[in-house]
Amino acid sequence: MTIHLHHLRGCAPAPLAHYLKAIGILRLIAQQKDPEVRGFWHDEHFCLLTTLDEQALEAFLLDEYEPTPFVSPWNKGSGFFATTDKGLTPLEQSKAARLAPFRLGICESRAQLAEITKADAAVRSLKDQTKAKKGAKPARAKNDADYKRELAAVEREFKRLKADLYAPFALAWRGPHRDWMDAAMVLSSGGEPSWPALLGTGGNDGRLDFTNTAMQRLGDIFDLSSPSAAPTPIASALVRTALFETPSTGSFEGAVGQFLPGSAGGANGTTGPDGGSRVNPWDFVLMLEGAVAFRGQATRKFGARDDMRAAIPFAIAAQAIGHATRGKEKSSRGEQWMPLWERPTTWSEVSALFGEGRAQLGRATARRPLDFARAVARLGVARGLTGFVRYAYLERNGQSNLAVPLGRIDVAEQPRARLVDDLGGWLDRLQRESEDAPARFAGAVGMLLDAVFDALTRDAEPSRWQSVLMAIDAVERIQATGTGFRVGPCPALSAGWLEAADDGRASGARTAEWALALALGSAARGYDKEGRPFDSVRANAIPIDPKKSWAYSVGADKRLINDPRVLMRGRDPLGDLIAMVERRIVEASQRSQRSLPLVARYGAGARLEDLALFNAGELDVERIVSLGRALMAVRWAEVRLPRERVRKAGDRPDDAWQAMRLCGLPFEVRDRMVAVEPASFRRLANGDASGATELALRRLRAAGFRPPLVAAVADATTARRWAAAFAFPISSAVAEAMANRFEKPTLTETA
């Protein structure tokens, strides 16, 4: 048996019409010709492995294919309510054996439509009475009270019959037209329909009825009046275009609905001011054949006593994240992520995949794009998938709904995806709060969601996780102003965040900005025996409740308490660092302590070479502070970092700064404790480096050190950077290395 490989270049992952066309071809061949056919995605197109060669494949579609009965008698535009219809009537009157299932679907539809057809005729008859004929006035006026009353009565009757229409169809229908119904709607236990976004509202979108349009397209490619429904002369060329993207001159003017946005026409749809809608009939018909595969089912949300809901394969609520056109628009039709796979797969396997059609996030089912991305990153989807094409059903081109592709999501293992679990509940609350919040807060939340989505769906680079941390800080800074604070601050982050965001993990050396952010984020008055920080500098960044680390401090008036300790407002990074240090010095003096009580977690202390770069103005201070503020939420008791190594060679801060920094350390250096000089720090913060150095040198000499300098001069900007550098705690090993410069006299002093 020879197996042929067909590259169907006319079936691409995007647009949606071409994706569905590929699924439709696989389904039809498996069900009607070759049960062992296999399909897979490769190099941006669909491939088939089948016993049919190219000629046999085309012949099957042209001469043997039995169309699925696309019948939607619940829609007014379906053709069932007209005396003659250009789409439905030719199919109903055909004699071809291949169209027998279609005729059966039409027949079973009409069996349930007698009363509703009569009611529809009554509505039409009344409305016709208000239409003027040539040379005569209308029989009745639209504003006539009796007319309005009669019209309302017959319309109520029509709506009542239509509301009760779905359950009889569900009970009576069997066969392929029932498959179409299951794809077009999902009925609850009470008979109420839910509409999958893929097929609009029961197989139509506004005034466009997909089923009637498909019937007309069948008339374009088949001679429905012939005994065998033979293909039309142009059908052969069009089928090659649909399958293999072979150029052809034939296409038909007709609506394509939401599935093929590029061919929808409209303003600027061509080189002129306006373009018509053009479609290959095979594309439309095979597209609907593929849509049949996405049948929904009614499931319960929580337990046996809860209401039913519609479960549609890979369909989730819309969320404006992860794409460039994020705005405030809302899509009631949501999103659908279409799966891709590269392993040759049978139709039964694909059908089972669509039957499950969901992504798991622990015990819960993913319901939003961010949840879906988390599930994909944690391999919570069916095995064998390589990616998803993300589609959103958005209102575009006036009030038309279009399936807009939002990008490709690869299925790849993300070992750090579980870190987002720390933020899960907080992100949910933020999204709900941001719906009616000021634009500034909603924008910050949107940036955070985008950053998380980006970290989950792209390469796990440290820069992406750092972007998440900075976005967390942006949200918290806005919350600290009184907007959205009821959601609470960022919850505690696990130690894994440090590894994920460590931009030096590949090279083995932390970058200066990340290293200083670690020192700032772990800064506290001290650490207990269990490794837990007490009086973290987070209290200086946001108005955190001292008794509830997961909540903000809120007063009796349900507003944030104006805590004088909260000094890091985010407007001026250098000023924030200086204000925090000054506050800590004042609080220490109130406790009769003459030091700067700032300690870093073991292994997180600032390094001399990084402090030198900071003092020289060569680092991004805003980035350091933003990362450091976010890292204050880390559970530092879980963190285990290697001991910092003090490099003997390399850049070091100026001797004047080292002299000032040795004053006020929270621990002894060389068995000596140098008392802090608040006046020295204040002078430095105010730009007086010379006066600050003079006071610091005096303290050092009193403690027994022999400084290698007698004075220092620096401009006001440099002095402020020197003052801000005090916010980064240093370890005792770094302090010892600094003290080495102050043990031996210089040649100048000796002279």
Measured distance CA(513)–CA(595) in Å, rounded: 26
Which of 68, 4, 65 is CA-nearest to residue 38? 4
Measured distance CA(393)–CA(197) in Å, rounded: 7
pLDDT of 751 reads 30
Average pLDDT, the chain: 87
Above 80 in pLDDT, residue 359?
A: no
Q: What is the pLDDT of residues 195-218, one digit of tens each?
A: 888 998 889 887 889 999 999 999
**Domain spans of the chain?**
76-259+279-291, 313-413, 510-742
Identify the band that residue 348 occupies on the pLDDT scale cut at 50, 70 and 90.
very high
Q: Are 611 and 653 within 8 A, CB to CB?
A: yes
Identify the band that residue 276 occupies on the pLDDT scale cut at 50, 70 and 90.
low
Residue 536 neighbours by CB distance under 10 Å: 21
Alpha helices in 644-724 (DSSP H): 655-662, 678-685, 689-702, 716-724
Identify the band that residue 332 occupies on the pLDDT scale cut at 50, 70 and 90.
low
Mean pLDDT lowest among 542-551, 674-683, 739-748: 739-748
Measured distance CA(727)–CA(540) in Å, rounded: 12
pLDDT of 329 reads 56
Residue 564 neighbours by CB distance under 10 Å: 7
pLDDT of 746 reads 47
pLDDT of 163 reads 73
Query: Residue for token digits 């003052």?
Result: 723
Identify the band that residue 86 occupies on the pLDDT scale cut at 50, 70 and 90.
very high
Above 70 in pLDDT, residue 363?
A: no
Q: What is the pLDDT of residues 534-570, one digit of tens each?
A: 999 999 999 998 888 789 999 888 899 988 999 998 8
Mean pLDDT for 461-478 is 96
Identify the band that residue 748 occupies on the pLDDT scale cut at 50, 70 and 90.
very low
Measured distance CA(611)–CA(722) in Å, rounded: 9
Above 60 in pLDDT, residue 302?
A: no
Mean pLDDT for 435-446 is 92
CA dihedral 71, 77, 79, 81 (to 10 degrees): 110
Above 50 in pLDDT, residue 637?
A: yes
CA dihedral 150, 154, 155, 156 (to 10 degrees): 100
Above 90 in pLDDT, residue 708?
A: no
Continuous segment of H or E residues that includes residue 240:
helix 235-244
What token pair was written down for 260? 């093929």
pLDDT of 470 reads 97
What token pair was written down for 214? 């498909």
Best-predicted range by mean pLDDT (182-191, 607-616, 736-745) = 607-616
Global pTM value: 0.84
What token pair was written down for 79? 């053709």
DSSP 85: -
Residues 6+ positions from 431 with CB-CB distance below 8 Å: 319, 445, 449
Identify the band that residue 749 occupies on the pLDDT scale cut at 50, 70 and 90.
very low
Above 70 in pLDDT, residue 274?
A: no
Mean pLDDT for 247-258 is 74
Which of 179, 199, 231 is CA-nearest to residue 69? 179
Identify the band that residue 304 occupies on the pLDDT scale cut at 50, 70 and 90.
very low
Mean pLDDT for 94-104 is 95
DSSP 725: G
Q: What is the pLDDT of residues 403-420, one digit of tens each?
A: 889 889 888 878 888 899
Above 60 in pLDDT, residue 272?
A: no
Residues 6+ positions from 134 with CB-CB distance below 8 Å: none
Continuous segment of H or E residues that includes residue 313:
none
Burial class (CB in 10 A: 0-12, 13-18, 19+), 396: middle
pLDDT of 362 reads 65
Identify the band that residue 380 occupies on the pLDDT scale cut at 50, 70 and 90.
low
pLDDT of 208 reads 87
Mean pLDDT for 346-354 is 93
Q: Are 334 and 317 within 8 A, CB to CB?
A: yes
Phi and psi at residue 139, to the nearest 5°: -65, -30
pLDDT of 128 reads 83
Identify the band that residue 300 occupies on the pLDDT scale cut at 50, 70 and 90.
very low
Burial class (CB in 10 A: 0-12, 13-18, 19+), 361: buried
pLDDT of 513 reads 96
Bridge partner residues of 402 (DSSP): 394
Q: Which of the pair, 660 or 250, is modelled with greater confidence?
A: 660
pLDDT of 360 reads 67
Measured distance CA(8)–CA(244) in Å, rounded: 5
